[in-house]
Amino acid sequence: MDLSWTEEEESFRADARAWLETNVPRDLGSGDTADGFSRHLEWERALFADRWAVVSWPEAYGGRDASIWEWLLFEEEYYRAGGPQRVTQNGVFLLAPTVFAFGNQDQQDHVLPRMAAAEDLWCQGWSEPNAGSDLASVRSKATRVDGGWILDGQKTWTTRGAFCTHLFGLFRTDPASERHRGLSYLMVPFDIEGVTVRGFGRLDGDEGFAEVFFDDAFLPDDCLPGGPVLGDVDNGWRVAMATTGSERGLTLRSPGRFRATAQRLVDLWSETPDERRGAVVRDRLVEAWMRAEAYDAFTLQTVTGLVEGDEMGAESSLNKIWWSELDVELHRVALDLLGAGAELDAGPEGAWSKGWQFALSGPIYAGTNEIQRNIAAERVLGLPRPK
């Protein structure tokens, strides 16, 4: 493996760094509140205006045709510069790779540039009250009628759903089917009749979740150019697995994010008075920093494989376990360094206690870590399924 960057890549990095240093905003607040979300949208639109919102996409869709390596460099620079959370992430990092892989030309030409420009805002409609880890028990249904689909059912835990304009999700389209069969992957604009979006609060005080109810909602075939079904009707499970691969694998949580947190932790250590810097915390800090570096090295290995034509497959579960548990530990070490002061550190986005609260959800979202361990056991290690 060659770990050096080409001149072209270094020049791409320098351009990104210069732009981010001048433009990254401070104190946007949490993007999971109505006010914060609108400030974050301005930032998303500024990124798009200068073609930094989706660097690896084709120029025609607002990108720079950057390679996957350059995308990694951009991510590293983004977090190094203190760039805020990406409130468009569920569209840009989850739906978009799936639209590139399964969408028809009309869908790609319509959905992708509007998503990049933060004109259409996408949330993920997987979970239901009785379908979380067991996603195959999805009950929301779409019934075929003249000119479209009738949707009925309920989705829940849709991140930032209350602020979004569209939802992508799984619906049962074959009423006789069970489990993974007979599902379709639909893209649904919220402005059709019969959709109710009800935002609700989280334990950390933000209002970032929504429940979405579909009551005889008519989804016309022409609600989107190319139609609302992504991939084949009744074959949505396969399409959805591509999305979960992006969520657990490369795109949702790049190493730049954790390396930047690890560096902030080292800075925090330097500012911490001697009496709070015990040897145990120091060892944990070093270990957490090494784990962030290890994640970077693992990602370079993954990307090398992808560039050579490999597919990520079940290994994305290992990735997800690693980044989510690393994030919890980085924040725990910070709270131990802050001591009782951590309670007072509940300020703007980026504060350690707020970050810790969110880190705790990492082992739950994108599929819980218990489920990822089951997948790793069965599909990576080849162990038998429990009886």
Ligand X SMILES: Cc1cc2nc3c(=O)[nH]c(=O)nc-3n(C[C@H](O)[C@H](O)[C@H](O)COP(=O)(O)OP(=O)(O)OC[C@H]3O[C@@H](n4cnc5c(N)ncnc54)[C@H](O)[C@@H]3O)c2cc1C
Q: Using the rule CB under 6 A, give the single segment among 230-238, 262-270, 277-285, 368-376 that binds ligand X.
A: 368-376
Which residues are CB-neighbours of 263 under 8 A, at least 6 positions away?
A: 80
Alpha-carbon gap, residue 91 to 168, rounded angstroms: 9
Strands (E), 321-368: none
- In this chain, which stretch among 77-85, 283-291, 337-345, 357-365 interacts with ligand X, using CB under 6 A? 357-365
Min separation Cβ 190 and ligand X, Å: 14
Q: Is 372 in the site for ligand X (CB under 6 A)?
A: no
Range 256-315, binding ligand X (CB under 6 A): none
- Nearest distance from C-beta of residue 195 to ligand X, angstroms: 16
Whether 77 is a known active-site residue: answer no
Supply the minimum distance, in Å, between the C-beta of residue 230 and ligand X.
16
CB nearer to ligand X: pick between 126 and 258: 126
Dihedral sign, Cα of residue 80, residue 50, residue 349, residue 357? negative
Judge contact between 345 and 352, C-beta under 8 A: yes
Site string for ligand X, 124-163 (x = CB under 6 A): xxxx----xx-----------------------xxx----
DSSP string across 163-214: G-SEEEEEEE--TT--TTTTEEEEEEETTSTTEEEEEE--TTS---EEEEEE
Give the whole-angstrom CA distance, residue 173 versus residue 128. Answer: 16
Catalytic option among 70, 76, 207, 247: 247
Residue whose Cβ sits closest to ligand X: 132
Q: Check binding of 165 to ligand X (CB under 6 A).
A: no
Identify which of residues 127 and 319 has a Cβ nearer to ligand X in the complex.
127
Site stretch for ligand X (CB under 6 A), options 110-118, 299-307, 346-354, 359-367: 359-367
Residue 83 beta carbon to ligand X: minimum distance, rounded to whole angstroms: 20
Give the whole-angstrom CA distance, residue 88 versus residue 94. Answer: 10
Instruction: Say if residue 361 is exposed, middle or buried (CB neighbours under 10 Å; 0-12, 13-18, 19+).
Output: middle
Minimum Å gap between C-beta 202 and ligand X is 8
Does 364 participate in binding ligand X (rule CB under 6 A)?
yes
Q: Which of 361, 377, 378, 380 binds ligand X (CB under 6 A)?
A: 361
Q: Residue count at the site for ligand X (CB under 6 A)?
A: 19
> What Å distances lie between residue 289 and 250, 265, 283, 311, CA to CA?
20, 8, 10, 28
Nearest CA to 101 out of 317, 220, 245, 301 is that of: 245
Which class for 386: exposed (0-12), middle (13-18), buried (19 or more C-beta within 10 A)? exposed
Choose which of 10, 65, 310, 370 interacts with ligand X (CB under 6 A): 370
Judged by CB, which is closer to ligand X: 129, or 225?
129
Which positions are catalytic? Answer: 247
Binding site for ligand X (CB under 6 A): 90, 123-127, 132-133, 157-159, 361, 364-365, 367-368, 370-371, 374
